[in-house]
Amino acid sequence: MYVLNTNKNGQLSRPALGEHVPFGTLYDARTDKFLSQSLLKKDGQISKESSSVPRDRPPEVKIVFSDSYQSRFDLMDIGPDLGASILARLVEPKGAGAYLNTPQQGEGILHAAIHHKVVSSREKFNVTRYRNQAAVDWEALTNPSATHFVVGIEWGVQSIVSIKHPANNSDAIQGVEDQFKTEISEFQSAVETDFSTAPETPPHSPVDMPLEITMYSDIPTESAALVDSLEKARSQLSLVPTHIEKEYSNVGRPIMYTLFPIHVLGLMIESEDVLGASMTPVSSEIESRLIYLFDQFSQCYQKLRKDYEYISQHKKYCSERFRTEVETKIAKLLSAMQDFEQQYAEALTKVRSGVEKESILENLYDAHINNEVSPGTLINMADLQIAKIKFILDATTLGATYIDSEDPVIDYIGNKDAYVFSISDTALNDSRSWNGNASLFRNLLDHKKLDTIYVISDDDGVGHVSSGACISYYEKGDIVSEDVLEEQNWLAKQCFVQCAADSLESQAVQRPLKRRLITMPCPGQNCSRSRICEWKCSKCRTPVEFGYTDKYIYCDCGRSLYENFSFKCDHSSHGGIYEKCYSQHVLSQLKNLGDSENVNILILGETGVGKSTFINAFVNYLTFKTLDEAKAEEALNWVIPCSFSTQIMDRSRPDGAIEQLKIKVGTSDDEHDGSKGASATQRTTVYPVTIGNRTIRLIDTPGIGDTRGIQYDKKNMADILTTLSSYDDLHGILILVKSNNARLTVTFNFCMKELLTHLHRSAANNMAFGFTNTRISNYTPGDTFGPLSTLIQNHSDVGLSLTTHTTYCFDSESFRYLAAFKNGVTMENEEDFRRSWKHSRMETLRLVDYFKSKTPHKVQSTISLNGARQLIASLTKPMAEISALIKANIAMSEDKIKEMTNTRVTGEKLRERLHIEKMHLRSKQLEMPRTVCKDKDCIDLRDDGGGVVVTVYKTHCHPECYLDNVQVDQVAHPGLIGCAAFGGSNYCNRCGHHWQNHLHVLFELEEYLATVKDTEVERQLQANANDVILREAAIQGLNKLIAEYKEEHSIIQKASARFGVFLKKYSITPYNDATLEYLDMLIREEEMKVQVGGNRKRLDDLLEDRRAHEELVDILTRNMDNKYELQYQVLNEAGVENLVSQLYALHHFGANLQAVKNTISTAHQATNRERPYRVNRGWSSMITRHARRATVDRLSMNSNPRDGSASPPKARRRTRETVRKFFEGLPSWPLKHY
């Protein structure tokens, strides 16, 4: 117990609290009650010690400004033990103590209480004195309920003056609190002064500060009496000594009792029995905690009652649901209070009596401090709602309109300019969102325009749930900004550039591939040169890029030369204006821009592995952390069109049909429908996906093993390489494979080796393997791991391996689920797809980090390798043929020498044989136009005999065409589509090529033999030389020709060997040894088609492909002999080109070789395949739901999945120029938080 209640002898001081008992009265400290029995005999006389207090002694005065139970107890010198009993209703205070029974006041009331005590005398008696022992009834000491008895009484009168001032709100309290305390302090000073001579205080004016004054006193006639003013209260207190003198014979009423413990008395008289009831004291700490809990209950109840009254007064701005909830909570709180009081009274008595341990009180405290109806849980439940109501009242006073109609806000706005503040109960819980938007809306009202309306839209009124507060701005009924505050905050942190309006080129312009994001210090005069800024366009808000090759700055608006731009960074030193900077300084900074944080990833795989779907999934995994976050996005994010099929099965209907649904994601000419077995991606396309300041280029490629045939594989690979040639570095090569290839199938083997054939050895360091659809294999490589490991082991010398670093297990099914969801189809087992999304996102981030950590592969290495391979492949057959031709010509020349050495040959005969016969080509006029094909498979390049290479059209698609509206010798003339060769389709019935590869000709080339003169022999014949001279000249010329033939033949043979060594050195594998098996499979399939009446042309083409591949492999195999590696220095890419140039320069057969060269010449439009996609996760994409609802509710919408935004009919977006003008006009005010 507190020292306040006991002394060193164990005596207990107990405030009288209106109770009047004589000396010797027994007391039960366990219940804090006086008993009816006394320790003294009825007629016993005791000797008392009495001391009087001088009348001129000033009263004791204390003051408190709190209304809590603890403050009240402190005011009246009540310790925790007695205070606990009062709260447990074991004691009922009377007299001045009746003040303790008054209800506590809630918030919004200033309170003060003054304790006034006048002590007249103090009496006590000593029971151990001999003369007093005769008056003691010793039998009374055996009372089992008594713990103490009265041995001392302090007499006098005490009073309590309770003073209250009601205030409307906390602001009002703060304004008058100082005045209130000043008046109370002046009143206290007056009361403490000698009343007989104290000057009168100025009368209190109720107009200035209305006060509610109540007096509680030990004088019954003045207890709980209302007083008009502080002056009257002071006057009544000054009369207390008079009351004591006249009404109580100078004694007064008991104020404090001193109680002596019975068990101590037993010890003093050496009693053999234990006297007095046993009592266990309760620690002051637990009693104080329980008193605090009583305070909490009372304050919470008072506050909720007041809050409920306020809400009810303004129920227009509060939902009926919330009012009912508050009312219910008040009832539950009251019930909990009553239960607590009852349980507390019982527990307190039991602990003091020793029946229970003190822990029961601790448990009681814990049970009521931590539950759903505890004061701490409920006390603030209505604060946000009241703040909302007060804000609405304040805003409507300033001119805002409050609406909670079911109709869309746009219907109320019409064609006017408007700010719409969307609020809800849920939004109130987000203090950052609410405070910022409330402050902004208030400032908008303070600066309101006459032609603009200001609306507060309450989502709770129509049953909507919004995640945060939001202000939207409309201009003539069209939405300009969906989140004004978020956009304003975003704009304040950005660095912008803008160009002169007349210099902007907004038309479609092909951008250079080598661009850099502009991240450099602000070139402004007063700005730091060390602070790096990330620059954006002031109109379209997208990051700007600098083109190294043309010095243009690019953004989504278009482009303009760098010198036309002005700059404005976000630092205060810049001044908030666009500054035109020194152009040479700007250019210097732009040229010094480092590489942007780009990652180039080439994605390869066999047809049907799902590259397009994977890329879409990849972008979404990078963008959204969870599937639920992706579902919450307004539209589906995609960068490449794809499609797939899914089925719906109603298992409750066993006989029901299975419904197949086709899910489409976007559309493009470069993608065909892959859901029916055809190859989807038709050409290589680059998708630069920008997320923040990082750009990840995903290079989507046509699948190897194209369903249209091996020739398309070759075209596709050439297309891939052509696209790659536009880039310097390749950070990663991801080879996608399915996870369910249990064995090395022919197609799988061919596709894998075909990929490896075209990659430079150094690319192996940047290769990784991505396994798709791994959910079925628990996110592991699955059955494919075995056969793929076997294949890779054959190339372990180049660094290929399957390790954790190079193995990534994805599952695009979660993206398919998302795509189906966005198409209105809900698939089962969503939790599985959530796990799939989580795992695939982790793998995606791991893959990007891995590729970023690798030294980029130089694309030129692979391009050069394949360029050399193409040259080698295109020259291999001609070189072999020309080698044979050289041998034949040497043999023929040697035969002629033998003939000419025959001396019997006459001069005339010699003249006839000196002329060499050679096959020539000549034109022959056709009677009717002929439709022919210009594709390389349908033509031959031949020497016409005069050293000119001409084109021979060997495929006559329509030998005699009767169309007369087709321009002769013009490829792809529109009139050709009507030719019978096409039969109404786009492809030729004869050769199978597109109609645009065809033309009309009016001639054909026919072969004829012509004699070629030897110029030297002819000169000597003309000079009448004799036959011997003629023979010698002819033999000399032939010997020289033979030597030249042999030299060129040697050069060609060496070149073949060096080519073979080059491929063996630099390629992962020189040729695809799985091609023959793959072609045999295709040939077998085509043979079955031919047997049932199919077209034989494809079969013939496949057979020709097989023959050509065998020939190529044979030549390369012979030329890759190890002996050549020792004999010749290994060429590099440049060496291959130089060697090819030497071959083309050969005097006799160089022209023939060059004529068959298969060059790739692709225009810039074909190689720049980039389709940029920016993942915008900033303010513009984080549109709050309620802001969107303001324009979208119950309106039919057509959403464009590419831009991820919706445009309702009544709320089409304004131009970016309008948005820019609007935000530049916003005032820059300090935001005051509500």
pLDDT in tens, 533-570: 999 999 888 889 998 888 999 998 999 999 999 999 99
Highest-confidence segment of 644-648, 651-655, 670-674, 768-772:
768-772
Whether 1232 maps to a domain, the answer reads: no
Higher pLDDT, 452 or 635: 452
Reported pTM: 0.54
Can you tell me the mean pLDDT for 813-828? 89
What pLDDT was estimated at residue 328?
92
pLDDT of residue 1216 exceeding 50, the answer is: no
Q: Which token pair is 1229?
A: 């005010």
Q: Are residues 572 and 541 in the same domain?
A: yes
Q: What is the side-by-side order of every strand in the sheet holding 495-499?
A: 519-521, 532-537, 495-499, 565-568
Whether residue 512 contacts residue 506, with contact meaning beta carbons closer than 8 Å, is answered with: no
What pLDDT was estimated at residue 361?
92
Whether 966 maps to a domain, the answer reads: yes
Q: Are residues 611 and 757 in the same domain?
A: yes
Cross-strand partners of 933? 998
Can you tell me the mean pLDDT for 79-90? 89
Q: Are residues 109 and 194 in the same domain?
A: yes
Whether 522 maps to a domain, the answer reads: yes
Q: Are residues 119 and 231 in the same domain?
A: yes
Q: Are residues 247 and 297 in the same domain?
A: no
What pLDDT was estimated at residue 265?
84
927: domain range? Answer: 916-1012
pLDDT of residue 446 exceeding 70, the answer is: yes
Q: How confident is the model at residue 975 (pLDDT cuts 50, 70, 90)?
A: confident
Q: Which residues contact 1093 (CB under 8 A, 6 or more apart)?
A: none
Within 10 angstroms of residue 124's Cβ, the number of other Cβ atoms is: 17
Higher pLDDT, 1210 or 1034: 1034
The sign one gets for the Cα dihedral 885, 891, 894, 898 is negative
Q: Which residues contact 584 (CB under 8 A, 6 or more apart)?
A: none
Nearest to 1168 by CA among 790, 854, 853, 725: 725
Whether 977 maps to a domain, the answer reads: yes
Can you tell me the mean pLDDT for 23-42? 92
Return the CATH number at 400: 3.40.30
What pLDDT was estimated at residue 499?
94
Highest-confidence segment of 264-268, 729-733, 1180-1184:
729-733
Q: Which residues contact 631 (CB under 8 A, 6 or more apart)?
A: 818, 821
For 336-367, what is each residue's pLDDT tens digit?
A: 999 999 999 899 999 998 899 999 999 999 99
pLDDT of residue 196 exceeding 60, the answer is: no
Nearest to 408 by CA among 485, 452, 464: 464
Whether 1198 maps to a domain, the answer reads: yes
Whether residue 257 contacts residue 11, with contact meaning beta carbons closer than 8 Å, is answered with: no
Least confident of 123-127, 577-581, 1134-1138: 1134-1138
What pLDDT was estimated at residue 22?
94
**Among 828, 855, 882, which residue terminates a domain?**
855
Higher pLDDT, 321 or 1191: 321
Can you tell me the mean pLDDT for 249-260? 91
SS3 46: coil
Return the CATH number at 657: 3.40.50.300
Q: Are residues 723 and 832 in the same domain?
A: yes
Q: Are residues 247 and 329 in the same domain?
A: no
Say how many domains are in the chain.
6
Nearest to 455 by CA among 501, 402, 411: 402
Q: Are residues 398 and 496 in the same domain?
A: no
Whether 908 maps to a domain, the answer reads: no
What pLDDT was estimated at residue 745?
61
Higher pLDDT, 666 or 336: 336
Q: Are residues 786 and 702 in the same domain?
A: yes
Whether 945 maps to a domain, the answer reads: yes
Q: Which residues contact 290 (CB under 8 A, 6 or more apart)?
A: 84, 87, 344, 361, 364, 365
Within 10 angstroms of residue 141's Cβ, the number of other Cβ atoms is: 20
The whole-chain average pLDDT of the chain stands at 79
Whether 943 maps to a domain, the answer reads: yes
**Among 233, 256, 279, which residue terminates a domain?**
279
**Among 829, 855, 881, which residue terminates a domain?**
855
Higher pLDDT, 1113 or 324: 324
Q: Are residues 104 and 229 in the same domain?
A: yes
Q: Are residues 403 and 495 in the same domain?
A: no
Q: Are residues 554 and 607 in the same domain?
A: no
Whether residue 851 contacts residue 599, with contact meaning beta carbons closer than 8 Å, is answered with: yes
What pLDDT was estimated at residue 26?
95
